[in-house]
Amino acid sequence: MPFLTDEKCQYSKLGSEPRVHDKGLNHGSSPTDSSVREELVWRRRFFVLLISSLSVTILLTGGSVRLLYSHSSLSMGCELARPYTPAPVRHITRSLRHAPDAHKFSGDPRPELDEAWHETLSGTLFRLSPDELGPDVNYTNSIRHKEGGLVGVMGVSHNLHCVKRVYQYIHPDYYSDVAASYGDWDAHLEHCLEVLRQAVLCAADTSVYALQWKLTDKEEAKPIVVPYQPSVCVDWDPLHAWMRGRESQLEDLVGPSESIQ
């Protein structure tokens, strides 16, 4: 199950913790010397009690701190488990308020906007070896590439495809040919919205936004959200370059007759 975090790391680390406490208690009951005079014995007992109490306190405190520390580092370690990908994934910080390419994808439909989408979605289909699909993946029914290996798609491209379809859906006159190519255009859109809803929840953006008042076109004040911190984003350019370097076309797919289910 490469898509899930490894729960074993949690159990092994937690299981070893109680020993810290056992050791502390054993240390606290160390024997006293009973062959000396009574007064000395009591003094020593008091001293030993004091030292052992201190030791137990220090050990318990140390143990708790270590337990807390192991909890935080262990959850961080487990959170770092990501689905396997053969592609280069690098992160960069970027402001989502002023995306430099926003203008290319906004406004009325036009050839430049279609070209921007075409460029963004290039490399959506790419060639890969069965190993690159992930460890222990049963690829028996996966579509083959005519020249060997398989054909794959990355999740981000599927989500982007859905964003493009939503844009096209709100401009049905301009994209009547796209609408016509789908038997049920509404149903496809609903599928896309559900894909996007799940993707947004999956990669939940936990940065906190503040609110500011802004006047609308109708001169009404409305609260708008303002992200103050830059976001941590996957660096799209090297990732996209990797896909494009292996770009495949629909014509490269084996089938459907050979592998239809």
**Stretch in the footprint of ligand NAG (CB under 6 A) among 69-77, 119-127, 137-145, 243-251:** 137-145
**H-only helix segments in 80-183:** 102-105, 111-120, 155-169, 176-181
Size of the site for ligand NAG (CB under 6 A): 3
CA dihedral 78, 84, 86, 92 (to 10 degrees): -40
Least Å from the CB of residue 71 to ligand NAG: 36
Q: Which one, of 119, 32, 95, lies nearest residue 228 by Cα?
A: 95
CA distance 148 to 256: 16
Three-state SS at 244:
helix
How many C-beta atoms surround the C-beta of residue 206 within 10 A? 5
**Does 261 interact with ligand NAG (rule: CB under 6 A)?**
no
Binder to ligand NAG among 26, 138, 206, 249 (CB under 6 A)? 138
Least Å from the CB of residue 198 to ligand NAG: 25
**Does 141 interact with ligand NAG (rule: CB under 6 A)?**
yes
Q: Residue 140 or residue 216: which is nearer to ligand NAG going by CB?
A: 140
Q: Residue 139 or residue 167: which is nearer to ligand NAG going by CB?
A: 139
**Stretch in the footprint of ligand NAG (CB under 6 A) among 77-85, 88-96, 111-119, 133-141:** 133-141
**Does 140 interact with ligand NAG (rule: CB under 6 A)?**
yes
Q: Residue 138 or residue 249: which is nearer to ligand NAG going by CB?
A: 138
CA dihedral 69, 73, 76, 82 (to 10 degrees): -160
CA distance 11 to 160: 38
Residues in contact with ligand NAG by the rule CB under 6 A: 138, 140-141
